[in-house]
Amino acid sequence: MTASLNQGASAEAIQYHYDLGNDFYELWLDPTLSYSGAMYGPGDTLETAQLRKIDYHIDASEARGAARLLDVGCGWGGLLRRLATEPGGVGKGIGLTLSAAQARWASAISPPNIEIRLESWADHQPEGPYDAIISVGAFEHFARIDSTDEERLNSYRAFFSRCHDWLLPGKRLSLQTFAYGSRRRREEGRLTEGTRFLAKEIFPETDPPRLVDIVAASDGLFEIESLRNDRKDYARTCKDWLTRLRAKRADATALVGEAAFARYERYLQLSAVGFEAGYLALFRVVLSRVGR
């Protein structure tokens, strides 16, 4: 990985958060281990809302029946496995993650047409073009807290540029990322106690984007077909996670210790408040590739 291409959080920083152990996350995430904002419809539980979110991205990117799909930041591979087991399925699904624990776990249980790689998008060299790209909960980590505005934009631009190179003409990228809300200026938001806690204790090196970053960095490469801010969905997801984590307090503490448990409890509470109050946003953006 070259510094000029990817100014995002390092593999070490990603592993600090995501390599706490699969057993720990299995205690309080849903069965697909979706670790990103769900999409709630009437009567949904966390489980059904995570499936609704997965299906939303599959539909939006028109991935069903695609010959080749790329999932940037595939986590534990839940989306790829759901698509692979559906009618129509996918020819070949490739998932990228920077977490070794996720890659090992997902590789072990995925069908043969799903390939999980421990690799950054900046290093990815596909064997052929893609019919669809999905990225859920990864874009957050593409810029560092100490990078300049220019470096941030370059990093986001490099990501869209790669996706543009890899996608066939007219095909889609379905992107989901949390972001700073528009209710506060970025500098102001970065200085709050809540943001500092999250940046120091939970997501080291990570600095989420703002909506303008996404728009500016994709301009000329992609047309934004739709844009949703589903921040209330993320607030509810965090509250559901918190309830589940607290219900498994004894098991969780035995796995990761009192301090890590308290850190996660605080992180889920702060995030719920951030999304509820609008300090944080949850964007789901469908982009279609422009040009030949």
> How many helices (H) and strands (E) would you count in the chain?
12, 7
Of 27 and 100, the one with the shorter C-beta distance to other proteins is 27
Q: Per-residue contact track with other proteins, 99 to 128, x per CB under 8 A?
A: ------------------------------
Neighbours of 292 (CB within 10 A): 5
When asked if residue 272 is in the footprint of other proteins (CB under 8 A), the reply is yes
Stretch near other proteins under the rule CB under 8 A, chosen from 72-80, 104-112, 138-146, 276-284: 276-284
**Contact of 252 with 242, CB cutoff 8 Å:** no
Contacts of 119 (CB under 8 A, 6+ apart): 96, 97, 98
List C-alpha distances in Å: 131 to 71, 160, 165, 166: 11, 15, 12, 9
When asked if residue 268 is in the footprint of other proteins (CB under 8 A), the reply is yes
Stretch near other proteins under the rule CB under 8 A, chosen from 22-30, 53-61, 109-117, 192-200: 192-200
When asked if residue 146 is in the footprint of other proteins (CB under 8 A), the reply is no
Neighbours of 32 (CB within 10 A): 18
Q: Per-residue contact track with other proteins, 228 to 257, x per CB under 8 A?
A: -------x--xx--xx--x-----------
77: which DSSP letter? S
Task: In angstroms, give the least distance from the CB of 195 to other proteins.
Answer: 9
Task: In angstroms, give the least distance from the CB of 146 to other proteins.
Answer: 23
